[in-house]
């Protein structure tokens, strides 16, 4: 599933080609992936200027010159690709939006259809919260004091980090990688972390996300950049999807357990559970 670094990569890929351009002919092939529109998307988008493209958590936000914003969520398997209009249309392409005068179009492709496109009012503000559910703060903007306040809970640290209402943008990959980098066991009760562990964990979250953004995200299966290329941070994973392989820090075998219903990978030596 695309997480913060993958979505940030797509936003950075799209900005130079699209800001200032106008949307053109819009074709919704599967209308059930489009939400929140009072009017059909093929009448809302054509002629709208793209003022900016931003990211909020795992959502791609197209700020337009009218009162409507287009928000794309990639769900589990979604791709948002920018390609020449004449290119063959791939299976599971649900939406095509032409870019006027550019010979290009945006295509939203999503085999599993957990993602979608939302047309939301500008009044919803930058969090785009009311339509798609509330979001906690962005991890890259978190101060140590606010992070420490969020962690004053008995919940397992990984379950808390995955909860988008607490912190928005982290998913399974970056939780596991950050917890390993900070040497914190995924089921540790959040409130039992010491002041120095909390600081170390926030530093690990930020440095893991920033490195992943520099490497254009992690391609495990479906994720692609806007031009169709894979990311490359998967080559630097230390624990994620590495059960049975040696820890890159200490050589101990990486283990897999289930936390909050998700597979979780950790090193039992680097990430000891306190009793």
CB atoms within 10 A of CB 90: 13
| 270 lies in the binding site for Zn ion (CB under 5 A) | yes
Residues 195-234, mask of contacts with Zn ion (x by CB under 5 A): ----------------------------------------
| 49 lies in the binding site for Zn ion (CB under 5 A) | no
Taken in order 177, 180, 184, 185, is the CA torsion positive or negative?
positive
The rounded distance, in Å, linking the Cα atoms of 12 and 132 is 22
CB 50 within 8 A of CB 89: no
Residue 240: CB minimum distance to Zn ion, A: 14
Residue 179: CB minimum distance to Zn ion, A: 12
User: Among the candidate windows 44-52, 208-216, 244-252, 257-265, which touches Zn ion by CB under 5 A?
Assistant: 244-252
User: Among the candidate windows 50-58, 187-195, 202-210, 241-249, which touches Zn ion by CB under 5 A?
Assistant: 241-249
Greatest Cα pair distance, the chain, in angstroms, is 64
Nearer to Zn ion, 149 or 245 (CB): 245
Residue 109: CB minimum distance to Zn ion, A: 38
Residue 191: CB minimum distance to Zn ion, A: 25
Active site (annotated) includes residue 31? no
Secondary element (H or E) of residue 10: helix 4-18
Select which of 56, 58, 79, 96 is catalytic: 58
Contact with Zn ion (CB under 5 A): which of 89, 90, 140, 250?
250
Active site (annotated) includes residue 58? yes
Residue 199: CB minimum distance to Zn ion, A: 21
The rounded distance, in Å, linking the Cα atoms of 33 and 165 is 23
Environment class of 6 (CB within 10 Å of its CB; exposed 0-12, middle 13-18, buried 19+): buried
| 269 lies in the binding site for Zn ion (CB under 5 A) | yes
Nearer to Zn ion, 61 or 204 (CB): 204
Which residues neighbour 8 within 8 Å (Cβ) at sequence distance 6 or greater? 55, 213, 217
The rounded distance, in Å, linking the Cα atoms of 8 and 95 is 21
Active site (annotated) includes residue 246? no
Active site (annotated) includes residue 3? yes
The rounded distance, in Å, linking the Cα atoms of 51 and 58 is 20
Nearer to Zn ion, 41 or 184 (CB): 184
Select which of 2, 5, 139, 186 is catalytic: 2
Please give the torsion angle defined by the CA atoms of residues 232, 214, 205 and 61, in that order, rounded to the nearest 10 degrees. Answer: -100
| 249 lies in the binding site for Zn ion (CB under 5 A) | yes
Q: Write out the residues near Zn ion by the rule CB under 5 A.
A: 247, 249-250, 252, 267, 269-270
Would you name the residues annotated as active-site residues?
A: 2-3, 58, 262
């Amino acid at each position: 599933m695309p997480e913060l670094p993958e979505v940030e990569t797509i936003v950075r890929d799209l900005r130079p080609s699209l800001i200032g351009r106008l949307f053109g002919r819009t074709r919704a092939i599967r209308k059930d992936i489009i939400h929140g529109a009072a009017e059909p998307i093929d009448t809302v988008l054509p002629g709208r200027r793209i003022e900016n493209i931003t990211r909020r958590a795992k959502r791609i936000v197209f700020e337009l010159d009218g009162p409507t914003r287009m928000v794309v969520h990639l769900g589990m398997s979604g791709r948002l690709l920018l390609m020449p209009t004449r290119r063959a249309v791939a299976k599971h392409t649900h939406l095509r939006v032409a870019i006027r005068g550019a010979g290009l179009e945006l295509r939203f492709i999503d085999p599993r259809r957990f993602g979608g496109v939302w047309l939301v009012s500008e009044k919803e503000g930058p969090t785009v919260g009311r339509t798609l559910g509330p979001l906690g703060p962005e991890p890259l903007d978190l101060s140590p004091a606010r992070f420490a306040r969020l962690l004053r809970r008995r919940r397992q640290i990984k379950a808390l980090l995955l909860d988008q209402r607490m912190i928005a943008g982290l998913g399974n990959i970056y939780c596991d990688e950050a917890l390993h980098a900070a040497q914190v066991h995924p089921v540790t009760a959040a409130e039992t972390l010491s002041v120095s562990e909390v600081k170390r964990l926030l530093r690990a979250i930020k440095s893991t996300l920033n490195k992943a953004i520099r490497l254009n995200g992690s391609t495990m299966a479906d994720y692609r950049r806007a031009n169709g290329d894979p990311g490359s941070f998967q080559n630097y994973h230390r624990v994620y999807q590495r059960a049975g392989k040696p820890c890159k820090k200490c050589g101990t075998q990486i283990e897999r357990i289930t936390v909050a219903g998700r597979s979780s990978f950790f090193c039992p030596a680097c990430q000891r559970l306190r009793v």
